[in-house]
A and B are shown apart, each in its own frame.
Chain A
Amino acid sequence: IVPVAGLCPQGAYGVQDSLRGGFSSVKNELLPSHPLELSEKNFHLNQDKMNLSTLRNIQGLHAPLKLQMEYRAARQIQRLPFLQSSHLALDTLRGSDDVIGFEDILSDPAQSEMMGEPHLMVEYKLGLL
């Protein structure tokens, strides 16, 4: 069981945020609870990185830059953070609008039983927290 760096505490300055995150222990923060946890958390990120770097090698720098600009623009078209947005533009750009995976079937956020606190989530998104 190897301690990994990807599970660092999420608060400001890398210190645990006891008020919002609850108590934490070194064991919880440093050791992953499942070998797949980290690789699944970063899966889409890593896949995008790989695809964009291949694209850069084949077609030059401008191609991935333009694509990333489009992704960023599409990612901004969303409802307020505590509501469900369909991510339709983002899915169409990515090509994941005609692919079904476990993220569409298991723990669909549209059907989660807990709702985020609206004020807190908007403050977190705007960076006011």
Chain B
Amino acid sequence: MATLTVSRAPLSGFSFDNCKRNALLEGEANKVGSNLPAARKTGTTICGLVYKDGVILGADTRATEGMVVADKNCSKIHYISPNIYCCGAGTAADTEMTTQIISSNLELHSLSTGRLPRVATANRMLKQMLFRYQGYIGAALVLGGVDCNGPHLYSIYPHGSTDKLPYVTMGSGSLAAMAVFEDRYKPDMEEDEAKRMVRDAIAAGIFNDLGSGSNIDLCVITKGKVDYIRPHDEANQKGVRTGDYKYKRGTTSVLTKMVTPLSLEVVEESIQTMDTS
């Protein structure tokens, strides 16, 4: 590539070179009256619950891009470590990258300590990273897992604050899901009852919030076992066509039929090999 007169080495990490240009472009677009394309969000319902043996995380599966559904079946429950999973709401790329970075860091950390990672470690790493970027990384997370100290559930907001609670909901459908939890939560529930409650909470979000939809994914984490049920419940199935607009042969009667054969002769035949190296 062409060399530039660069006197300093390029910096790694986030580059703010295009911010001024983007602000200018947005101003120009607004003057004309159009909008720049929106980032893909997971306007979402995610929730988590601590029950007798562990933690259950639930999420819907719709990803939106403004007012359009971008992905009808995306996976919002991300892997952090064999005993810790994290649901993500907010900007899809942010949740994806953040959880992957924290997962890598936790793996390196657990290799150097030689122990199974703890949920509090993941929580601390996430909150320190999100606070560093002052909320510009739009990732609202529900982090849950079972470690040597028992089951833990945290909710992490984009600006870096965290809450450690027995049941949490996040996302645009969080109020609908929280209503279900507040009504029916009891400490130390059985697994079936807890799964039914999480399913109902996510269903409340799916049916009452425009930003959430499609199926319900569940992740049941207990000591030594993780059950990633995807999909747990296909709450919205695509409809089946009941009628057909095709007409049967013979609906219209044929009066005359005329066949004209077009004889084409081969003039030239050549082979051009593609460079598939």
Seen from chain A, the residues whose Cβ lies within 8 Å of a Cβ on chain B are 20, 28, 32-37, 39-41, 43, 81-82, 98-109, 112-117, 120-121, 124, 129
Contact = CB atoms under 8 A, between A and B. Distances in A.
Given A40-B14, A107-B11, A113-B1, A98 B6 contact: no
A98 B109 contact: yes
A114 B105 CA distance: 30
B104 interface: yes
B7 interface: yes
B249 interface: no
A107 B14 CA distance: 7
B12 interface: yes
B96 to A, nearest CB: 12
Interface stretch (B15-23, B31-39, B182-190): B15-23
B13 A101 contact: yes
Interface string B1-12: 111111111111
Nearest to A98: B108
A40 B19 CA distance: 14
A108 B12 contact: yes
Nearest to B6: A116
Given A33-B20, A100-B105, A120 B13 contact: no
B273 interface: no
Contact of A104 (B1, B2, B10, B12): B12
Interface stretch (B62-70, B131-139, B151-159, B255-263): B131-139
Contact of A116 (B3, B97, B108, B109): B3
Contacts of A116: 3-4, 6-7, 9
B132 A81 contact: no
Contacts of B1: 113-115
Nearest to A17: B7
A92 B200 CA distance: 50
B101 A102 contact: yes
A129 to B, nearest CB: 7
B125 to A, nearest CB: 9
Contact of B13 (A20, A40, A115, A117): A40
Given A114-B1, A114-B4, A116-B3, A99 B9 contact: no
Given A36-B134, A98-B108, A103-B13, A121 B19 contact: no
B149 interface: no
A41 B11 CA distance: 9
B112 interface: yes
Contacts of A105: 97, 101
Contact of A20 (B5, B105, B109): B5
B10 A114 contact: yes
Nearest to B21: A33
Contacts of A115: 1, 3, 6
A37 B11 CA distance: 12
A20 B19 contact: no
